[in-house]
Amino acid sequence: MLEGLLSMGAGALYDSLVRGGPIAVDDPRADSSDMAELFEKGFVRRDYRGDPTIAPVEPVRAVDHAILAAQQQVLDQQRAIVAARHQLDVLQAAYRMANSSGDTADIEIVTDPQRIGQISFELCLSAREEFVTFSTRHFRKAPSAQTVMTLPAVVAERGVVLRNVCERAVLEFESSRDMVEGNIKAGWQMRAVPELPMKMVIADRHSALVPLDPTGMEGALLIRTPTIIAALRMLFELVWSQAVPVGAQETGSRNGLTPTQAKVLDLLATGMTDGAIARHMKISERTVRRYVSGLLEALQADNRVAAVYAATRLGWLN
């Protein structure tokens, strides 16, 4: 009776109490281990009205309470499993970094898509100072507010600097604004360029992950060779220096520009069209054209290219 909630003996005793009614407190069964289990799990209660007895709790209440207790136990176990997996990831990342110079190759070819994603996560966990990435237009599904590059708390607690450069095309997806704002809220510094040669992930100066195909999921190189890492870092810094900041962290007043004007200027510098800027900022193309016209006038420029050049020369673009 009630297998899974009660032991066989306790279930049989509860069944007899339900069918036969309360028993006296001096009944031999009152001191049994089965009765102790019923008290512990809320299936019986003492009744002191008149002669003291031990009475069964109404089945609908007793069983419901037991099910809730079992569900809570399962939830606690699930939380413990999640915590254990997180600790495993941290320890695994530390192990890989500490043993990278032993029998592990300096350059490793990885073809399993799941393993590629796992390595990227491990590199994130291993970062102590900085974690930098390139994001291209090659996605298996379009970026959205759910495509936020959130990192484990242990990374943020170490004060790791997070920098990302994305292709202009990434900003032209319909939900890109929410995605960018979510990334910045998560702690990322973000910039954009017209085009990138590939996706890339670099953790500090010890490891990098670069793709063998445009999507980065058909194959990748895990690189730990110091000279190659240094070259990839130089590539990132060169692209970063020429990229245009995007997102809320760059929308403050700039030489008299309103936050919206500054935002339009930033996106204009990436080469985005009026339509793409309008979709990203969730305003009309007519409004974008009005802002662009105002920027051309303020910068005394005849065209967009001249406006970006003038804005760069004046320090209006970081």
Assigned CATH topology for domain 259-314: Arc Repressor Mutant, subunit A (1.10.10)
State the CATH class of domain 107-245.
alpha beta
Query: 51-62, pLDDT tens digit by residue?
Result: 899 999 999 888
User: Is 1-103's fold the same as 107-245's?
Assistant: no
Ordered by start, the domain boundaries in the chain are 1-103, 107-245, 259-314
d(CA 11, CA 14): 5
Coil, strand or helix at 8: helix
d(CA 298, CA 261): 11
CATH architecture of the domain formed by 1-103 = Orthogonal Bundle (1.10)
d(CA 147, CA 238): 26
Query: 280-311, pLDDT tens digit by residue?
Result: 888 889 888 988 888 887 787 888 888 887 78
Q: What is the mean pLDDT of residues 60-80?
A: 82
pLDDT-derived band at 152, boundaries 50, 70, 90? low
Say how many C-beta atoms besides its own lie within 10 A of residue 159's C-beta: 9
Return the structure tokens found at 222.
């895990």
